[in-house]
Amino acid sequence: MQLPEDLRVQGALDLILNLLRCGGMLLDSSVMNSAWRVFLYNLSKVVTISCIIIVSLGFIVESYITRDKLEEFAESFGLLITQTKNSTKLIAILVHRKKVLQIIKNAGEQFFIHEKNLLPDESSLISKCLRRARRYTFIFWVQWALCLIFQSASKRTADNKVREMPIKMWVPFDTTHSPYYELGYTYNVLSCIIVSWYVAVTDTLFFVIVIQMTAQFELLGQSLRTLRRDYEGIRREKWNILNKQPWTNERVLPFGVLLLVRYCRHLRL
């Protein structure tokens, strides 16, 4: 069973999945019926993988070029390590997208205990967790956007007063003079934005899944806390039905069963 629509719209999971599908990361082409959709999916996946390769190669070459300058090499190598981690994460999602989609599906179906509909207090608890996840997701995206804007808008100047790229990454052509500097600036910033954006969205995806699993554990704890109360209510209801049955007459029941019924009535169970 899936969450009702009024609860799903309060969370950020559907929005995150749509954003990742724009990059061809969490789409299963085997279930697509339209050849045009398959073409767009493969095209977006090629663009995403190309950006990953471009950024990774740029950091590798930049680290090699600056190997004799300790300060610049430390910056380039730090960016290379970060990019390696991010690339591994994105490639793993692309390769194992079916398993990731199954995890997401299971995370959305485990809110229902014993396949029964949600009670009002359970719906309220889930709504609170989903709204919290959505709020934290947007806060994380705003922080990502501000950091990238400040990094992209920075003007790096070398010792010889030559303008450099805002992000220390190798560009495959000379960017000393215009318009090659503007072209290299766009190449540098755009490729890094695409890769870092999908990394940010991927991080929020797993964060939202953890929040949903937290809500499921809270539902389980609430169910365990109210278990005795529910059991008492069911037992009283069944005993009232038992008292109203005509077969509790002494002429019908055997002696042992009659004795048990009288004993239970005496204890008022």
Question: Over the stretch 165-224, which tens digit does the pLDDT of each residue have?
Answer: 778 888 888 887 778 888 888 888 888 888 888 888 888 988 888 888 888 888 877 777
Question: Quick one: 246 and 134 in the same domain?
Answer: no
What is residue 94's predicted lDDT score, i.e. its pLDDT?
A: 84
Which parts of the chain have pLDDT scores under 70? 1-2, 28-32, 109-116, 154-163, 227-269
- The tokens describing 63, both together, are 């680290």
CB contact at 8 A, 118 and 126 = yes
Question: Quick one: 30 and 86 in the same domain?
Answer: yes
Assess if residue 231 is contained within a domain. Answer: no
How many domains is the chain partitioned into structurally?
2
What is residue 269's predicted lDDT score, i.e. its pLDDT?
A: 46
What is residue 193's predicted lDDT score, i.e. its pLDDT?
A: 86
Question: Quick one: 177 and 261 in the same domain?
Answer: no
Question: Quick one: 244 and 188 in the same domain?
Answer: no
Question: Quick one: 54 and 154 in the same domain?
Answer: yes
Question: Quick one: 20 and 100 in the same domain?
Answer: yes
What is residue 260's predicted lDDT score, i.e. its pLDDT?
A: 53
What is residue 160's predicted lDDT score, i.e. its pLDDT?
A: 52
Assess if residue 265 is contained within a domain. Answer: yes
pTM: 0.72
Assess if residue 232 is contained within a domain. Answer: no
42-48: long-range pairs with CB below 8 Å, 24+: 45/94, 47/23, 47/194, 48/23, 48/24, 48/90, 48/94, 48/194, 48/198
Question: Quick one: 17 and 131 in the same domain?
Answer: yes
Assess if residue 233 is contained within a domain. Answer: no
Assess if residue 145 is contained within a domain. Answer: yes
Question: Quick one: 89 and 164 in the same domain?
Answer: yes
What is residue 138's predicted lDDT score, i.e. its pLDDT?
A: 92
Residue 259: which domain range? Answer: 239-269
Assess if residue 234 is contained within a domain. Answer: no
CB contact at 8 A, 130 and 10 = yes
Spatial separation of the C-alpha atoms in residues 201 and 110, rounded to whole Å = 23
Distances (CA, A) of 68 to 72, 73, 74, 102, 155: 9, 7, 10, 48, 23
Question: Quick one: 205 and 247 in the same domain?
Answer: no
What is residue 81's predicted lDDT score, i.e. its pLDDT?
A: 92
Assess if residue 94 is contained within a domain. Answer: yes
What is residue 246's predicted lDDT score, i.e. its pLDDT?
A: 53
Q: How many contiguous H segments (helices) and E segments (strands) does the chain have?
A: 9, 2
Assess if residue 230 is contained within a domain. Answer: no
